[in-house]
Structure 1
Amino acid sequence: MKLLVKWLFAACALLLVAYLYPGVHIQSFGSALIAAAFIGLFNTLLRPLLVVLTLPVTVITLGLFLFVINALMFWAAASLLDGFNVNGFWAALLGSLIYSVLMLVVDAAMKAIFPRS
């Protein structure tokens, strides 16, 4: 149940990103659900591998390269899906930053909805 609620909140966060920033476009709530699932899968499966492979660059840039990795995950999901479009790398960077902040709010809401017992 917790996973489903977080998935719905993530889709709503994507819709809010598209509403707040004109560089990100989402056609429908169904497209947002699929995009949220893809972003979640990319962040779970690909992001740790990319973080390890780019560790020297991340250390040299004092962690700022992690923003690039987040933007690439966001952009990759948009390039694979119909109904979810991002207007270039800089739009992906800003969209992923907004999405990350919104997902922090979602995580806080999830802790309030599903407290540990």
Structure 2
Amino acid sequence: MGIILRLAASAAAVWVATLLIDGITVNAETTAGKIGTYVAIAVIFGVCNALLRPIVKTVGCAFYVFTLGLIALVVNGLLFWLTSAIAGVLDVPFHVDGFLSALLGALVVGLVSWALNLLIPDKD
């Protein structure tokens, strides 16, 4: 049940990002299509983060140290942009216009996801 709640929180965070950032769009026509798109993007973004983030952190360890971790914002933006590209290949109606929109969108998704995940109880 926890994973479904966390997926819903991520989907809600993507929805908030589409509301706040002009360069992030969902082109689904129905409400059910939009909800499905938000869930699909949450899954794609989660998989990208789970697979690529450890590799990027390992390879770019010096950049994380040198920038005191601020490079993580750039990495998140690039992963969000990659999510948009993967969505385009999979014909998911989601698009991010440029790196700045991706950077801001990833920041919004991260903050909203963090806030919503505070409300989800752990198993402990």
Common topology (TM > 0.5): yes
Which structure 2 residues correspond to residues 1-117 of structure 1 after superposition, within 5 A? Answer: 1-27=1-27, 28-81=34-87, 82-111=92-121, 114=122, 116=124
Quick one: which amino acid aligns to residue 70 of structure 1?
A: N
Q: Deviations over 1:45-95 (max 9, x none)?
A: 111111111111121111111111111111100111131111101110011
Which ranges of 4 or more aligned residues in structure 1 deviate by more than 4 Å?
Answer: none
User: RMSD of the alignment, in Å?
Assistant: 1.2
C-alpha contact 2:64 2:70 (8 A) present in aligned 1:
yes
| Aligned-residue identity in percent | 28
Structure 2 spans left out of the alignment, 5+ residues: 28-33
C-alpha contact 2:25 2:95 (8 A) present in aligned 1:
yes
Q: Secondary structure of 1:22's match?
A: coil
C-alpha contact 2:7 2:39 (8 A) present in aligned 1:
yes
* Number of residue-to-residue matches in the alignment: 114
Structure 1 spans left out of the alignment, 5+ residues: none
TM-score (norm 1): 0.91
